[in-house]
Structure 1
Amino acid sequence: MLALLEIKWSGITLHDWWRNEQFWLIGGTSAHPAAVIQGLLKVIAGIEISFTLTSKSSAPDDGEDEFAELYEFRWTTLMVPPITIIMFNVIAIGVAISRTVYSPFPQWSKLLGGVFFSFWVLSHLYPFAKGLMGKKGKIPTIVYLWSGLICIIISLLTVYVYPPMGNQGSIRFELP
């Protein structure tokens, strides 16, 4: 509700707010944690990390999307966390649906809540995914391999911490 009031009072459109939310999440899963780590390395270990500024294209061509430069990507390790989050949410949706469908006592409300949250995260990361798909073949395979490996590790840790119930939770009736 607070966000809606801020939108109303600031006079920005809902589309502009949504685009801001999307890019905030993309930055919050890639650049912001990297900046915190770099800051900690500088303060604690005295390690200085430098970067180079790159120029963007000056003006959009005719018929080109006005936000086209926002979808231009260059390979960097900062791509691994958002790709991992995308993969993890897609896998989570598949696992949740299969667990609910094949459960003896399906809990549809849990499924709807979890799928809604995963789609919410995926819709925020849509510009990032759109940029990746636009550069098909130009992003090194190692980025996808690292993201997949991290996603598998997180999935296995989740299964280890929260093991599936199997038949342990079902009630058995036996006749004498």
Structure 2
Amino acid sequence: MRIYLAGPEVFLPDALAIGAAKKALCALHGWEGVFPMDPPTLSPSGEMDWRRIHAANELLLRGCDALVANLTPFRGVGADPGTVFELGFLRALGRPVHGYTHDPRPHRARAPEARLVQGVWEDAQGLRVEDHGLSENLMLEGAIRAGGGVMLRAEAALDWRDLSLFTRCLTEIARV
């Protein structure tokens, strides 16, 4: 099984080392981990710009059987938007998607300005804030669970480079 390893780790200075470590952990289960920075089998032509990066990642996604996404909040209260796209892309192809987050807080608790107004949580602009006790937006956790996927939340905050929850996610996937 080829598993796409989605997540904002691609922005770390040691991204390739993190990708290699995740791929090695997949190999322990007999799976092939595919990191977003891996070159696709059929590489898109043209100058290496954002369009080519996007095309290469879609090619990688199409060649995978499943996805494991690091949904730890990235530059805000929610998951990295690129990771979210990749999760939705594979789910739309009917392939299993799984996720984990290093942030133990529920989604609502990550909006510090949220306040309870007449029984509804709102942000500073008066927009509703989800309060379902989930670790991420309901559409993401819904997509994972609807396809029988695994979704894990850390019990205590973890560093970006900590692979313990990723390892546990792989173990849970193997079990189901």
Asked if these proteins are the same fold (TM beyond 0.5), I'd say no
Question: Larger Rg: 1 or 2?
Answer: 1
**TM-score, normalization: structure 1?**
0.32
TM-score normalised according to structure 2 size: 0.32
Comparing both structures, which one devotes a greater share of its residues to helix? 1
